Chain A
Amino acid sequence: MIEVQNLTKRYGAKLAVDRVSFKVNESEILGFLGPNGAGKTTTMNILTGYLSSTDGKALINGIDILEEPLKAKKLIGYLPEQPPLYLDMTVEEYLKFVYRLKKCKLPINSHLKEICELVKITDVKKRVIKNLSKGYKQRVGVAQALVGNPPVLILDEPTVGLDPKQIIEIRTLIKKLGKNHTVILSSHILSEVQAVCDRIVIINRGRIVADDNSERLVQNLSNDHKLIVRAEGNPNEIKKLLSSIPDMREVRINRENIEPGVAEFYLNAKEGSDVRREVSKRLASRNFPLLMMKSSELTLEEIFLKITTGDIYGHADKIEAGMDTRLAGKE
């Protein structure tokens, strides 16, 4: 549905987007992730025809945005970072304006009514946009992108500045839209893309540093053989007990007396092994209550920080290689 080939954008000497390539399939939600200034917005602006690329191609349903802009733009609904609202209009007037601007053919009243209900702005329809709260403005922005029912939706940081309840609402809405739209969503919040997107593209300094199915991306980085365990009892005795598990390579006391008499341990077992059951059994057999056990996988946040602040090209390779080296380096 969307194909980006070697997209490059140069602002004078600054390379904002550097040979970015990716594909988005129909009805897929792609998360575009990167720190501020990574080139997310620039890429989206090129995809929507707001900016031109210096080099490379952006195809929407096979139509080049530079060669046939009017045709390609008809397929896209765009919510820029700052919703493009005419503050002096009422919500209804504004949506009608967008409807006419996009030269829609759908029946105007029922179409706009449907959108208003979908994004829950029916009750503010008659109000002047200037007077709306930030959350409502954002929703009017989403509504604007939906006018004309374009098959592709490009949403630039759709939840920025919203309160937690609104964030959840917008996310639910995007998920719903993803069922019959192709969606690209940008964010610098990982939990967001993780929650909403099927696939994640991580971009930094204009370059793609990771591109994978979001579950696989997390899975690749998870490590069931590395555990964090909290148990009550004499730390040294527990350490000895756990060290005797066959596949165990290392047991380390992380912290003592987290609660009175409770210590936290870091366990590193052989790769590919699963020692969780054994740990639980052994602790129980000696009457050391097990209070917590979790795998010490990196959260996407940590991965992201590592990828984007470190030597990105080197790290990008390591993502594919399973990130083992990096994990070892962290602990």
Chain B
Amino acid sequence: MLAIFRRELKAYFTSPLGYVFLAIFYAFAGLFFWLFALDIGSTDLSTAFLMMFLVLMVFVPLLTMRLLADDKKQKTDQLTLTAPVSLFSIVFGKFLSAYVIFVAGVAVFPVFGFVMSIFAKISWLPIWGNTVGLLLLGGIFVSSGLFVSALTENQMIAAIGSFFINLMIMLLDTLVNQFPSGFFRTVLGSISIYSRYIEITNGIFSLSSVLFFLSVIGIFLFLTVRVLEKKRWA
């Protein structure tokens, strides 16, 4: 697992991909920080965090599209799949490499908090809560992106596909509102990722949300392993 993690992490910086992702991330984070905090004289970053949902939805697929799709296209999967490593460690190694880049992006928010704390008294708790929320959300986007990347050998399709999944994740919430009450509202409402993320940005940080996010990440990683496993039997 460590070997794959190291290789993939390094690959982000031998191609422009890692730099581009981080540049975009920092640019948008900086923009929101300026618009929703500095410009209006507020120390509340929750709007900036909320806006990051949209940015991640679009740009995390760039980070994950290559991971498994390119392996298939270049046939390097014949190396990893015939090496004495389990499928899970392959998948998890790849997941971690993309996730570390993502974490490097998110790390800018505590820096914003620190900058504000020089000029005003701020409450750190919501900033940390939101940061953890963003990390969990990113985990879902990375794992879903990885899953789609396992399905195809075309990076563009992988990127578009995972963008589509992310879009669905967001739209699920609108769908919930179509049902005023009843069974569908309960079911769809309880699997809504977006509404739980909004909860976190509103300052409600619950263990159930954390567990929910972790479970979704786990499910996508599990499905990715299954896709690789299925390929052997096809």
Contact = CB atoms under 8 A, between A and B. Distances in A.
Interface of A: 11, 45, 48-52, 69-71, 73-74, 76, 78, 80, 82, 84-89, 93, 97-98, 100-103, 144
Contact of B75 (A11, A48, A84, A100): A84
A87 B74 contact: yes
Contact of B3 (A52, A76, A100): A100
Given A51-B232, A86-B74, A100-B6, A70 B14 contact: no
B82 A48 contact: yes
B123 interface: no
Contacts of B10: 89, 93
B3 A97 contact: yes
A85 B84 CA distance: 17
Given A82-B75, A86-B76, A88-B14, A49 B2 contact: no
Contacts, number: 71
B9 to A, nearest CB: 12
A214 B57 CA distance: 60
B178 interface: no
Contacts of B15: 88
Contacts of A11: 234
B82 A50 contact: yes
Please classify how large the interface on chain B is, using the bins under 10, 10 to 19, 20 to 34, 35 or more: 20 to 34
Contacts of A74: 84
Contacts of A102: 83-84
Contact of A73 (B3, B6, B76, B84): B84
Interface in B1-38: 2-4, 6-7, 10-11, 14-15
B79 interface: yes
A84 B79 CA distance: 6
A52 B10 CA distance: 32
A12 to B, nearest CB: 9
Contact of B6 (A76, A97, A98): A97
Interface string B63-100: 00000000000111111111111100000000000000
A51 B4 CA distance: 21
Contacts of B3: 97, 100-101
Given A50-B232, A78-B82, A89-B10, 18 more contacts: A48-B78, A50-B81, A70-B85, A71-B84, A73-B84, A74-B84, A84-B76, A84-B77, A85-B74, A85-B76, A89-B11, A89-B14, A93-B10, A97-B3, A98-B83, A101-B79, A101-B80, A103-B84
B233 interface: yes
26 contacts: A48-B78, A48-B82, A50-B78, A50-B81, A51-B232, A70-B85, A73-B84, A74-B84, A76-B82, A78-B78, A78-B79, A78-B82, A82-B75, A82-B78, A84-B74, A84-B77, A84-B78, A84-B79, A86-B7, A88-B11, A88-B15, A89-B11, A98-B79, A100-B6, A101-B4, A144-B79
Contacts of A89: 7, 10-11, 14
Interface in B171-205: none
A73 B75 contact: no
Contacts of B233: 52
B86 to A, nearest CB: 7
A73 B84 CA distance: 5
A74 B86 CA distance: 12
Query: In the complex, which of the residues B10, B76, B234 has the most CB atoms of chain A within 10 Å of its own CB atom?
Result: B76
Nearest to A86: B76
Contacts of A51: 232
B192 to A, nearest CB: 38
A225 B225 CA distance: 62
A92 B79 CA distance: 16
Nearest to A49: B82
Nearest to B234: A11
Contacts of A80: 75, 78
Contacts of A82: 75, 78
Contacts of A49: 81-82
Contacts of A87: 74
Nearest to A76: B82
Nearest to B11: A88
